[in-house]
Structure 1
């Protein structure tokens, strides 16, 4: 699918057959995206653990 005009294109097409825009994504960008998605997921997990820890601490404080 073309991200610009939403036309369907052949697999591995470099240019959209409909709007003639460049639709190829370099492998390095795909690898970088995958790495960033992995890091994002790790940060989300870390944030969830930190929130849980803060919640536990707050509960201990209020129970005293």
Structure 2
């Protein structure tokens, strides 16, 4: 296993960090809004599924 000295390591890390493409502020805001919208839609969907299952089971158990 090849060992590098700390100076070389820091130089390599800086080189790799320079290759990173950071998102713009607009992209971050847009992505955040999309995540909140999808989380809300998912919560509504599962609430409706839960409500329909509960109603169906109450109907079935109400017969007996």
TM-score, scaled relative to structure 1: 0.59
1:1-64 equivalent positions in 2, closer than 5 A: 17-19=14-16, 20-63=18-61, 64=63
Distance 2:15 2:52 in 1: 53
Alpha-carbon RMSD across the aligned residues, in angstroms, is 1.9
- Deviation, 1:21, is 2.8
Equivalences, count: 49
Unaligned residue ranges in structure 2 (runs of 5+): 1-12
Detail structure 1 runs of 4+ shifted over 6 Å in the superposition. Answer: none
Structure 1 runs not aligned, ≥5 long: 1-15
Shift of 1:61: 2.7
Higher RCO (CA 8 Å, separation ≥ 6 residues):
1
Bigger-Rg structure (1/2):
2
Distance 2:50 2:38 in 1: 18
Task: Write 1 or 2 for the structure with the bigger share of helix.
Answer: 2
